[in-house]
Amino acid sequence: MTEDPADRTAGDAAAGPADAVTCAGLVHTFGETRAVDGLELSVRPGEVFGLLGPNGAGKTTAIRCITTLLPVPAGTVRVFGRDAAQERMAVRRLLGYVPQQLSADAALTGRENVTLFARVFDVPRRERAARVAQALAAVDLTEAADRLANTYSGGMVRRLELAQALVSAPRLLILDEPTIGLDPIARTGVWDHINAVRAATGMTVLVTTHYMDEADQYCDRVGLMHRGRIRALGTPAELRQGLGERRRAEGTGGDALPTLEDVFRAVAGSGLDESSGDFRDVRSTRRTAHRVG
């Protein structure tokens, strides 16, 4: 990990149209704020890719460009080779998206919520009931399917949102902070269900998270994002070992293997504290508390 991260990500982004997601030179600004600033990103088919970073790094903005919910003012975004700016509907049909904000209706049952998504995503009418039941079963909500969502726990709401995203059988599942605000058992439950569906279908997963331990455990590769760009990329083990080797060479590290958070701090340097950011995400935790309340 001693090479310039920008070179490395640029090289990977050039990997080709077979990628599940390719962002090349993606820029998105809000007024003076360059939320995404020349993002180079390549997600390979079938992998779980974690986009990590502190508040304001640009993760949600990048994801919203990939899902076509925000325009792509500069650069290109492709999903399985389809251009997000030119072929929005084709891209939307390929993906399932679980946003940070609540996407389930508390006044409907679990089954009604998932059925609504099945209709929106044009699941054929005669397959709909079976596909809804299958999606609910995949996240272990069969028994609770006919209860109102406002009786669900936070973990169940998250699993319901997962079922909503899965009912269209997407090739790419995008999750924005899927486990924020959940207790450790509920977090594990959400990941177990994501992994089970992925193993059964081979779908690609792109996830943002503040939880470095989760990224370490569940992501095949991670991109550490800071100020609108990927600053380091690799498997969690590669990133940790790379920093460990650098520290040993410099004589600055002890024997302990660095954590992913250590890697991030090494990559982002002093700019991390100055820009807001820590990984303990107060704002997002509050947002989630509102979501399920």
- Enumerate binding residues for ligand ATP (CB under 6 A): 30, 33, 35, 53, 55-61, 281, 283-284
- Minimal CA–CA distance to 166: which of 142, 201, 192? 201
| Residue closer to ligand ATP, measured from CB, 33 or 217 | 33
Closest separation between CB of residue 193 and ligand ATP, Å?
23
For the CB of residue 199, give the shortest distance to ligand ATP in the complex, in Å: 28
Minimum distance from residue 182 beta carbon to ligand ATP (Å):
16
Nearest distance from residue 108's CB to ligand ATP, in Å?
27
Least Cα distance to 120 among 132, 110, 108 occurs for: 132
Q: Where are the beta strands (DSSP E) in the chain?
A: 21-30, 33-43, 48-52, 74-79, 82-83, 95-98, 172-176, 204-209, 221-226, 229-234
Query: CA geometry: angle at 146 spanning 142 and 149, to 5°?
Result: 100
Closer to ligand ATP at the Cβ: 45 or 56? 56
Q: ∠ at Cα 100 (181, 107), nearest 5°?
A: 90
- Comparison of 42 and 284: residue with beta carbon closer to ligand ATP: 284
Select 56 or 81, whichever has its Cβ closest to ligand ATP: 56
Are 288 and 180 in contact, with CB atoms under 8 Å apart? yes
